[in-house]
Chain A
Amino acid sequence: MNKGASITSGKKLLAFVVIALVIGLAIGYGVGYYTTTLSISQAPAGAERVYTLGVTFALSGAVSSVCVQWTPVVTMAIDDLNNLTKSMGLNIVFKPYILDDASTPDGALKNVQTLYATGVRIVIGPALSSQVKAVKAFSDANKLIIIAPCSNSPAIAIPDYIFRTQPSALRESKALATYAVHEGIRSVVSFHINDEFCNVFAQYFKKYFEESGGSVLYDMAYQAGQADYGSDVASLASWVAKLRPNAVFYCGYDTDGANVLNHAADEPVLRGVRWLTVEGFYGASEILTQKIVDFARATNIIGIRPVPIANPLYDEFVEKLKKYGATPTLCSENVYDAVMIAGLAVLRTGGSSDPEVLRRALIEVAKTYYGPGGWGLFDENGDRLQASFRLWTMAFINGTYQYIDIGYIADSNIVVEKVLG
């Protein structure tokens, strides 16, 4: 081969590579600049400015039956934000970008990455504590603000870019332990799904219950994502028959909860003890069957859920949500508050994409925000500070099976307002 020709072609190749690199860098810079400012775009004067709030919800999978009912709540909150900007004469429109994370930690992480790549800087969701844990590293690394509306595992109560409009479960587990002792329960068998929230809740419930003189005789976890939990319930029945506790402490969610309670209703030994539970399956419609509600009455099952007591804004929220064809389920009010606090923080910063500015604005907005979920104020870990709890059960009232509140716990005071037969 001719050496001169080879050198010439080598130079041409080098020149081509350099030119391609320069063009690539220019394109990359342009794309990067565009994507990082996309969610809070600098529109020409007079043009409508669009703010995109990212949303990752479990629209399929284990907790979907609760989470699909959050979508109308987001729509309502976005409408309220847009009405607010309109009334203030601001030419700003909020839009949600909703993705389905299939109730899985991986799904939540992928969604958060996708939303970040499209320029979103504030994400509402995910639902479960295990999912929030999965997105934490990405959120920390990229200073992406996450506002989780239903996660409350104490394990992720850390000062970072994750905010939670649900109070940490530390106080909730203590409140449930206090209630159990108040009811004369001295021994329990703990039965819960093996996930972030329920494992930690069961752990703290045990701690506080035993500090109050109670005893957790056996702790049994079952694996999430199974098709059926019949044999796990049969194992629970064996332990209850052997240990004779005063109560079963149960922590699960809607789909597995319906399955577990349905099987438990067939076990005479499990109908013979009291049941205590958390908010995991509160609001799930599949629980409200004759069989399960009969079981609930036979066992006097009492649940606890973090909701502000006597909040007129909550009642207004319930009425307004009906216009969107939805009824509130677990954490619906926290979803609304999360969207509102995010939107108000964006307005407060004038559309900044700086995560530190947005983070500070969120904290400041929450200090003065009061919504259907109560006072928005965050604690030092970014978790909602205000924590009071309602006690609930299920019953057949006025011809329908429904969840009803029977009392509340606030500042260590337990008030039982209704006693059902």
Chain B
Amino acid sequence: MEIYRVILCSYVFSWIYILSGLPLTLSYRTTKVFNFAHPVFITYGAYVAIIANEVLGKRINLVTAVLLAFVVGGLVSLITHLLVFRPLSYQRVSSNTYMVASMGLWFIYQYILYIACQILTRKYGANFLSYPTIEYEDVKLVQDALRIGNIPQYIITASLIGVTISIALYILFNKTVLGIALRGTADNVTLAAVSGIPTDRLINLTWFLVGGITALSGVIWVNFSGSTTPDVGLNIVVDNFAAAFIGGLYSLPITAVASIVLALIENTLLAVLNYYFGVQPTIRLAIVFGIVFAILVARPPAGAAGGLPYRFIKRVSKK
């Protein structure tokens, strides 16, 4: 069995799900908004890289793509919060209203992108509705210098972005005052405000980080996939939400583990089932979600599901 390529796919998908799932959990923890438009940030990140690639004459560096995608994704997310979610929060609307609003935003963002793609297709003569793989020039240089051209570029890209962001998030939340303030705001915004923490600013920063980090999974995507379409986020959304739900929309480590498990199930497990048992890959979603349901039943998520956040469960059970 050609297991090597399947494992590579699982590896890349793990990072894509982690980089899009963690911010979804983060945004819910901090604002209690379940943002259905979240996958749009993946798509926008991918398209920032694509547009930059065309503008730069198809010679884009990973560093450029990362910076642009992070800033654009972050700004779109922040603007969404300032123009939609924050005004809704002032009106003290129910969570259903947030959900409906975010679904509407999803469609709006999606069609804005379609319109942009059609305009850009005319301007640059490239097909923006289905764009081929992008190779990053600087990664190619590194590969040549280190003589590791036989390693697929997307493995290097995913590793660089994934590891860097993971370390950065760990340091931010565990080693900095800002991160502790962010966690405080996420746990109890009223208490944080009373304690003198500028909660509004921190919530703005959270939304910026959420959009920015999610957009980076799009930067990996265009380097990995054979075709990027405006539906990329839409096609990932189910796995993305599943990972976040398994993490109870609260626990970042469990969301990360769930992302890896999902990527392994839908790539490696399915390939094994196909090869050894003749199971057709067309039932991928059924198998993936059968296992997700089993996990949810065996270990119900906390947080959004109404239970206590994971880190409190142990303390309560000890008592």
A-side interface residues toward B, CB under 8 Å? 59-62, 64-65, 68, 194, 220-223, 225-235, 237-239, 241-242, 254-256, 258-263, 266-267, 269, 284-286, 289, 291-292, 325
Which of B156-164, B227-235, B291-299 participates in binding chain A? B227-235
Residue contact A223 to B275, C-beta cutoff 8 Å = no
Listed A/B pairs (14) with beta-carbon separation below 8 Å = A60-B129, A60-B231, A64-B130, A65-B127, A221-B282, A223-B283, A230-B9, A233-B5, A235-B6, A258-B130, A262-B133, A263-B226, A284-B127, A291-B132
Q: Which of A222, A261, A262, A292 contacts B282 (CB 8 A)?
A: A222
Residue among B13, B114, B122, B281 having the largest count of chain A Cβ atoms under 10 Å:
B281
Contacting pair B227 A231 (CB below 8 A): no
Least CB distance from B13 to A in Å reads 8
A286, B280: Cβ atoms closer than 8 Å:
no
Chain B: which residue is nearest A103 at the CB level? B231
The answer for the CA separation of A392 and B221 in the assembled complex, in Å, is 31
Given contacts A231-B270, A234-B2, A255-B229, contact A223 B281 (CB under 8 A): yes
B266 in contact with A259 (CB, 8 Å)? no
Q: Which of A62, A65, A234, A284 has the most CB of B within 10 A?
A: A234
Closest CB in chain B relative to A268 CB, distance in Å = 9
Tell yes or no: B149 within 8 A of A by CB. Answer: no
Select B285's contact among A65, A222, A223, beta carbons within 8 Å.
Answer: A223
Asked if B131 is an interface residue, CB under 8 A from chain A, the answer is: yes
Residues of chain B in range 214-231 having any CB-CB distance to chain A below 8 Å: 221, 224-227, 229-231
Also in contact, A286 and B132, with CB within 8 A (given A221-B282, A235-B281): yes
Contact check, B235 vs A220: say whether CB atoms are below 8 A apart. Answer: no
Known A-B contacts: A231-B268, A262-B133. Give 10 more (CB < 8 A).
A221-B280, A221-B282, A227-B232, A228-B224, A231-B271, A235-B270, A237-B2, A259-B225, A267-B5, A285-B126
When C-beta atoms are compared, the residue in chain A nearest to B6 turns out to be: A234
- Residues on A with beta carbons closer than 8 Å to the beta carbon of B132: 258, 262, 286, 289, 291-292
Provide the main secondary structure of the chain A interface: helix
Contact of B227 among A61, A222, A238, A255 (CB under 8 A): A255
Residue contact A286 to B225, C-beta cutoff 8 Å: no
Is A286 in contact with B227, judged by CB distance below 8 angstroms? yes
Interchain CA distance A347-B280 in the complex, whole Å = 50
Q: Are A259 and B227 in contact (CB under 8 A)?
A: yes
Residue numbers in A under 8 Å from B130 (CB-CB)? 64-65, 254-255, 258, 284-286
The one of A238, A261, A292 that contacts B1, using a Cβ cutoff of 8 Å: A238
Docked complex: B242-300 residues within 8 A CB-CB of A: 266-268, 270-271, 274-275, 280-285
Q: B97 within 8 Å of A by Cβ?
A: no
Interface size classification for chain B: 35 or more
Among A61, A235, A242, the one with the most B-chain Cβ atoms within 10 Å of its Cβ is A235
Residue of A nearest to B152 (CB): A266
Closest chain A residue to B125, Cβ basis = A285
- B195 interfacial by beta-carbon distance below 8 Å: no
Cβ-neighbour of A258 out of B5, B227, B232 (below 8 A)? B227
Which residues does chain B contribute within 8 Å of A255, judged by CB atoms? 130, 227, 229
B-side contacts of A226, CB under 8 Å: 235, 284
Contact A234 B227 (CB under 8 A): no
Q: Is the CB of B280 within 8 A of A237?
A: no
Report the separation of the CA atoms of residues A226 and B226 in the bound assembly, to the nearest whole angstrom: 12
Given A234-B5, A254-B130, A289-B132, the answer on whether A60 and B230 have CB atoms closer than 8 Å is yes
CB of A89 to closest CB in B, whole Å: 37
Say yes or no: A227-B9 contact (C-beta < 8 A), given A235-B281, A259-B226.
no
CA distance A58 to B122 in the complex (A): 18
Asked if B105 CB lies within 8 Å of chain A CBs, one says: no
CB neighbours (8 Å) of A262 from chain B are 132-133, 225-227
B114 near A60: Cβ-Cβ < 8 Å: yes
Q: Which residue of B lies closest to A219 (CB)?
A: B280
| CB of A289 to closest CB in B, whole Å | 5
Which residue of B224, B227, B280, B283 is within 8 Å of A220 (Cβ)?
A: B280
**B226 near A235 (CB under 8 angstroms)?**
no
Q: Does B174 contact A (CB under 8 A)?
A: no
Are B6 and A285 in contact (CB-based, < 8 A)?
Answer: no
A-facing residues in B107-121 (Cβ within 8 Å)? 114, 118, 121
Q: Is the CB of B274 within 8 A of A220?
A: yes
CB pair A68–B229 under 8 Å, yes or no, is no
Which residues of B (1-47) have their CB < 8 Å from a CB of A? Answer: 1-2, 5-6, 8-10, 12-13
